[in-house]
Chain A
Amino acid sequence: MTHKILIVDDEPNIVMSIEFLLKKEGFATETAGDGELALDKVRSFLPDLVLLDVMMPKKSGFEVCEILRADTTMKQPRIIMLTAKGRETEQAKGLALGADAYMLKPFSTKDLVAKIREILAAC
């Protein structure tokens, strides 16, 4: 079955590459440019996994993550947080708030795909 992935980032340039990459790898993708759109898309698109940027307008990745994890009525997607913030306390916070993995930009696209497959396989 085709896994559905939601790409959330306010930088269209990276969204373009990731979308191209994941489509080529055979995933179904959707994108969102900010935290609020991301919440809407999660509820309509029901992704298996969300690639979530931390620094975004309207709602940060941390907030989106907390809200998703707090909503017990829905099927919980896996979450990989993507961030340009290098501080380790923030990584710890992301994981504590319910993210499954945390990737620091810049990352290799191969590693990203590997991480996605690893997490989806663990379902």
Chain B
Amino acid sequence: MFLRDLTAKWRFVLAVAVLGMLMTGPFLLTSVLIWLGASTGMREVLVQHLLPQVPLGGVLTATGFVLGLMLIRRLFNRYVTGMAAMVEELRLMLGSNRSFRITEDGPPELRELVRAINDLATQRDAYIDDVESQVAKAKANVEEEKNRLAALMSELAQAVVVCNLDGRILLYNNRARYMFESLAKGPTSVSSGALIGLGRSISSILETSQVDYARETIRIQLERGNRHPVANFVTTTDNGQLIRVQIAPVLRQRPESADVQVASGYILLIENITRVLEQESRRDAALGELTEGSRSSLGTLRAAVEMLADNPDMDAENRDRFVGVLASEVTRMSLRLDNTLTLLADTLRQHWPLDDMLAVDVIEAAGRRMHERLKLPVDVNTVTSDPLWIRADSFSLVSAITFLASKIEEAGEVRSFALRLDSGEKFVHIDLLWTGLSMSTETVLSWEIEPMRQDHGVNPPTLREVLDRHAGEIWYQRQGPTAQASIRLLLPKATPEQDTVNVANRAASSERPEYYDFDLFDRPMGHVDLDQPLSNLVYTVFDTETTGLEPANGDEIIQIGALRILNGRLLHQEHFDQLVDPRCHLKAASVAIHGITDSMLLGQPTIDLVLPAFHDFCADTVLVGHNVAFDMRFLELKEASLGLRFDQPVLDTLLLSAVAHPNQQSHSLEAIMQRLGIQMGQRHNALADATATAQIFMRLLPALAEQGIVTLRQALEASQKTYFAQVKY
């Protein structure tokens, strides 16, 4: 065991020692044996004869020893030292230089070994290359699939938005961009589709309560094992457009149990149905007019005809009156028919989206909602055990029931509510019962036409509208000997049918969308967290052009340009670029700098329109600018009068550059750009400057990381400490 761990050097020493012993040992042993076996006389003779020969023997032995030593050394050098060098070369091959090969040198055995090793290395390289090419191919496939998916989405006539569980947008297609651009708050030129953007919250474009409700519906459906859950809702935008949204989950199998699927995000199909619904309601009105009007006229005609037929002996005066009735009703019917047909001609067949659903789900949801909102006990019970299906928009129905309950609660001292579900012959009965004061019929009637403001944003529907959508009716009743008051909601029973997801496929632009970032799928985002790594944050990089350098003395912003950085990507298409009418004349000196003239600003929006849009654009992001304190002064001076606050963290590339490269003389935009090798076209255009600043910022991040500045908090603190931060403007 001891011998195995000996290094080559000690083995050499050992070999030398053994050699020495082998060369002297036998001779000495023979001498000792002869000496011991000899008599005293013999010993004297031996000494006398042999002693003079000892130097010769010594010299011969020493010569043999040296020859042996040289032989061993040569062997040692050829095999052992050669191998030590080979080990180093092998390490090189394993590590830094894959293609390095050991040179064949030394004795044949070693050369054989080197050949074997080199062959092994070649084989290994082939494997590695193969794996790498496979990985690259797989990656390319994934990339291609991702692009194909994105291209497919851009072809869809419907607007598509994909968001993660936090409601952050991961993808949107052209259609969605155009739709929300045209729906954006304020002048559309100002927001340039700002409200839809990667990493932004879906609630910046859609009513949050409805999205949450739909997601909850999907979660419940998933829990029940429905593999293809879908939820629909219709919502109203700020400018009164009706948006129909279909939500389906992006499913992921839960790792611990393969058959349980959980949502990892949501796909939203969005459609503007305002026009369709307008046509629809015109068509409904026309049809209603036609059927009810015809019934009424027919009723009159029939009664008059029967009077004439049954009374042949009627006097002339009465007969003339009845004939007059006939003539006028027939004319009215013809007119009505003509009018209706004209109205109906251009209407399409489209319905308010109603889902087949179990009535019990609706009342349970309503019960939960009522309890949350009113903090009163709500007893939900079902009288019948049959599954009762209705066709409903459950959000508006639940809102309607909750609305009624809160109205009742406002009107009287209510101690508890009950929701009861029962089945009639053709209808489903949903009774809302309460203990407390009873109402007057007029009060209940007045609720029908009152807009339900609680869950709906602008343009809330009335209870009557929701009922009409569901072909339902409602009335107030006092029943039974206890005279318990209740409100009955009557809805037609439905037979559920298989859902058909209708994805319309009309022609669309062939433009490829660049509007996705699937890396956001698992990343929670929200308000700016100071301890987040800088690479994880969303930034708005901006620049302003102004009439002068002194905001306190009346200088104004005339241009704002901004871009967003998300996941280390500069989102060029989500930019903000707006000229602003300063309501004063430009000084010649400033025109010389930015090249913006009075005539260019004519007809542009004023700052009180632009700044709120910019505020929306940069919500929940970190602001970045070059020498940003200057721009912030201009923004802050407007905050009070516009009721806005730019209270997010602000980073300055001037200060960050000073942190990253403290020994440089200049940290002007031009100097940094030159240093970092950034090209740019037009200077002193707000968007171009913001773009340059953004590029600088992204290149500064690695330099900062080298100094251990990784989080936003660290970046802010380091900025504070630089010399430049001490300079006040």
Interface residues of A (CB under 8 A from B): 11, 13-14, 16-18, 20-21, 24, 55, 62-63, 66-67, 70, 82, 84-90, 92-93, 96-97, 104-110
Q: Kindly list chain B residues whose C-beta atoms are within 8 Å of the C-beta of A89.
A: 427, 471-473, 490-492
Shortest C-beta distance, B658 to chain A (Å), equals 74
Q: Is the CB–CB distance between A67 and B441 below 8 Å?
A: yes
Chain B 38-57 interface 0/1 with A at a Cβ cutoff of 8 Å (1 = within): 00000000000000000000
Most buried by B among A16, A85, A93, A110: A16
Stretch of B317-325, B405-413, B608-616, B627-635 with 4 or more beta carbons under 8 angstroms from chain A: B317-325
Show 21 A/B contacts (Cβ-Cβ < 8 Å), sorted by A: A11-B296, A13-B300, A13-B325, A14-B299, A16-B321, A17-B307, A17-B322, A18-B303, A82-B299, A84-B291, A84-B292, A84-B296, A85-B295, A86-B295, A89-B427, A89-B472, A89-B491, A93-B490, A106-B295, A106-B301, A106-B302
Q: Is the CB–CB distance between A16 and B325 below 8 Å?
A: yes
Q: Kindly list chain A residues whose C-beta atoms are within 8 Å of the C-beta of B311.
A: 24
Chain B 289-330 interface 0/1 with A at a Cβ cutoff of 8 Å (1 = within): 001111110111111101100110000001001100100110
With A17-B322, A67-B441 known to touch, is A84 a contact of B293 (CB < 8 Å)? yes
Smallest Cβ-Cβ distance to B440: which chain A residue: A70
Set B296, B304, B426: member contacting A105, Cβ < 8 A: B296
Q: Is the CB–CB distance between A110 and B306 below 8 Å?
A: yes
Shortest C-beta distance, B441 to chain A (Å), equals 5
Is B126 among interface residues, defined by CB-CB distance under 8 A?
A: no
Q: Kindly list chain A residues whose C-beta atoms are within 8 Å of the C-beta of B301.
A: 106
With A13-B329, A67-B441, A86-B291 known to touch, is A92 a contact of B303 (CB < 8 Å)? no
Shortest C-beta distance, B490 to chain A (Å), equals 5
Q: Is the CB–CB distance between B473 and A92 below 8 Å?
A: yes
Shortest C-beta distance, B675 to chain A (Å), equals 76
Q: Is the CB–CB distance between B296 and A92 below 8 Å?
A: no
Chain B 416-428 interface 0/1 with A at a Cβ cutoff of 8 Å (1 = within): 0000000010110
Q: Kindly list chain B residues whose C-beta atoms are within 8 Å of the C-beta of A62.
A: 475
With A13-B328, A13-B329 known to touch, is A96 a contact of B475 (CB < 8 Å)? yes
Q: Kindly list chain B residues whose C-beta atoms are within 8 Å of the C-beta of A97.
A: 475, 477
* C-alpha gap A67/B442 in the complex (Å): 9
Q: Is the CB–CB distance between B307 and A96 below 8 Å?
A: no
Smallest Cβ-Cβ distance to A86: which chain B residue: B291
Q: Kindly list chain A residues whose C-beta atoms are within 8 Å of the C-beta of B321.
A: 16
Q: Kindly list chain A residues whose C-beta atoms are within 8 Å of the C-beta of B302.
A: 106-109
Smallest Cβ-Cβ distance to A54: which chain B residue: B292
Q: Is the CB–CB distance between B471 and A104 below 8 Å?
A: no
Shortest C-beta distance, A93 to chain B (Å), equals 5
* C-alpha gap A110/B475 in the complex (Å): 32
Q: Kindly list chain B residues whose C-beta atoms are within 8 Å of the C-beta of A106.
A: 295, 298-303
Smallest Cβ-Cβ distance to B303: which chain A residue: A17
Q: Kindly list chain A residues whose C-beta atoms are within 8 Å of the C-beta of B295.
A: 84-86, 104-106
Q: Is the CB–CB distance between A17 and B318 below 8 Å?
A: no
* C-alpha gap A56/B295 in the complex (Å): 15
Within 8 A of A (CB), among B594-626: none
Interface residues of B (CB under 8 A from A): 291-296, 298-304, 306-307, 310-311, 318, 321-322, 325, 328-329, 424, 426-427, 441, 445, 471-473, 475, 477, 488, 490-492
Q: Is the CB–CB distance between B473 and A93 below 8 Å?
A: yes
Smallest Cβ-Cβ distance to B308: which chain A residue: A17
Q: Kindly list chain A residues whose C-beta atoms are within 8 Å of the C-beta of B291.
A: 84, 86
Q: Is the CB–CB distance between B303 and A109 below 8 Å?
A: yes
Q: Which 5 A-B pairs have the closest CB atoms?
A: A105-B299, A17-B303, A84-B295, A106-B298, A106-B299
Shortest C-beta distance, A114 to chain B (Å), equals 13
Shortest C-beta distance, A112 to chain B (Å), equals 8
* C-alpha gap A67/B298 in the complex (Å): 29
Smallest Cβ-Cβ distance to B477: which chain A residue: A96
Most buried by A among B293, B306, B318, B426: B306
* C-alpha gap A110/B322 in the complex (Å): 18
Extra inter-chain contacts (9) besides given A24-B311, A84-B295, A89-B427, CB under 8 Å: A17-B306, A82-B299, A84-B294, A84-B296, A85-B295, A86-B295, A87-B471, A106-B301, A108-B302
Set A17, A24, A63, A86: member contacting B304, Cβ < 8 A: A17
Q: Is the CB–CB distance between B307 and A21 below 8 Å?
A: yes
Q: Is the CB–CB distance between A14 and B303 below 8 Å?
A: yes
* C-alpha gap A21/B306 in the complex (Å): 9
* C-alpha gap A63/B444 in the complex (Å): 11
* C-alpha gap A112/B328 in the complex (Å): 23
Shortest C-beta distance, B293 to chain A (Å), equals 7
Q: Is the CB–CB distance between A20 and B441 below 8 Å?
A: no
Smallest Cβ-Cβ distance to B474: which chain A residue: A93
Shortest C-beta distance, B580 to chain A (Å), equals 55
* C-alpha gap A18/B322 in the complex (Å): 11
Most buried by B among A13, A24, A105: A13
Q: Is the CB–CB distance between B300 and A92 below 8 Å?
A: no
* C-alpha gap A105/B296 in the complex (Å): 6
Q: Is the CB–CB distance between A92 and B307 below 8 Å?
A: no
Most buried by A among B294, B307, B329, B488: B307
* C-alpha gap A84/B475 in the complex (Å): 20
* C-alpha gap A58/B488 in the complex (Å): 24
Shortest C-beta distance, A36 to chain B (Å), equals 14
Shortest C-beta distance, B618 to chain A (Å), equals 51
* C-alpha gap A87/B470 in the complex (Å): 12
